[in-house]
């Protein structure tokens, strides 16, 4: 997979800007068409009690699978948010064993030492296209079947259906992220495979109907976000490699 392409914009006015309707990912178009078709059938039968709600539901499906353009900050040491949503957990944890153990390919995984995990919870109102936090080569994509607990719970990282992704930068630094299904989410859809080369902010997959994404920061790197902060996939800077700032926020 080739790196993400797009127009260059900067802080000196280069590029173009304008509002437009976001595109809808192909994964969602088929569902919207099915629901819209059912609404049309009920409308033709003059069963408006069913036709109008189904017509509205088809619009909701299109909104859920929206895929807006994003402007990704450029910087050698930046780690970018892989998901839209709310930062609900920041804590030191052991990295997932699937990203640590030898997978037989010869490519190294994450170290076994505890790391900082940032958890981003996506509600049904958030964009559900997930993006690469850094540029590099995909070393692992590991799917794990599991339960469908509330994705906001800490134990969802170990018990829910999930997919681990390991990306290695050109300098050898490895970043892990985990897509986690939730109460309503029932399928994780990958867009990538091992060996693909990604640009920071490139689309890597989606999770249907509410879920969570965990990011595992390298040793010596602290978050540049705080609990309760809303982040935007492909745009918000989660952390900077090697930086350990103390950041405080005030809720209002």
**Residues annotated catalytic, as ranges:** 211
Strand order in the sheet with 188-190: 129-131, 203-207, 188-190
* DSSP code, position 10: -
Among residues 153, 238, 150, which one has the least CA distance to residue 201?
A: 238
Round to the nearest angstrom and report the end-to-end CA distance of the chain: 43
* Distance separating alpha carbons of residues 47 and 179, to the nearest angstrom: 40
CB 62 within 8 A of CB 32: yes
* Distance separating alpha carbons of residues 229 and 65, to the nearest angstrom: 23
């Amino acid at each position: 997979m080739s790196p993400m392409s797009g127009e260059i914009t900067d802080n000196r006015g280069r590029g173009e800007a304008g509002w437009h309707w976001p595109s809808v990912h192909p994964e969602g178009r088929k569902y919207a068409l099915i629901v819209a078709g059912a609404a049309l059938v009920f409308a033709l039968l003059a069963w408006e009690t069913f036709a109008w709600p189904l017509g509205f539901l088809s619009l909701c499906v299109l909104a859920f699978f929206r895929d807006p353009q994003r402007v990704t900050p450029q910087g050698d040491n930046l780690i970018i948010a892989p998901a839209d949503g709310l930062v609900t957990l920041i804590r030191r944890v052991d990295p997932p064993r699937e990203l640590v153990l030898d997978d037989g390919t010869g490519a190294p995984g994450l170290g076994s030492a505890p790391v900082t995990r940032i958890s981003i919870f996506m509600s049904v109102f958030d964009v559900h296209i997930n993006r690469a936090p850094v540029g590099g080569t995909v070393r692992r994509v590991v799917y794990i079947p599991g339960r469908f607990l509330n994705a906001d719970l800490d134990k969802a990282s170990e018990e829910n259906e999930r997919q681990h992704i390991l990306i290695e930068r050109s300098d050898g630094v490895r970043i892990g992220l985990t897509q986690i299904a939730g109460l309503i989410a029932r399928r994780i859809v990958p867009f990538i495979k091992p060996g693909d080369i990604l640009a920071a902010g490139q689309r890597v997959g989606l999770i249907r109907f509410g879920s969570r994404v965990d990011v595992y920061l390298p040793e010596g790197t602290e978050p540049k976000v705080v609990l309760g902060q809303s982040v935007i996939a492909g745009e918000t800077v989660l952390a900077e490699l090697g930086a350990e700032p103390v950041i405080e926020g005030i809720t209002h």
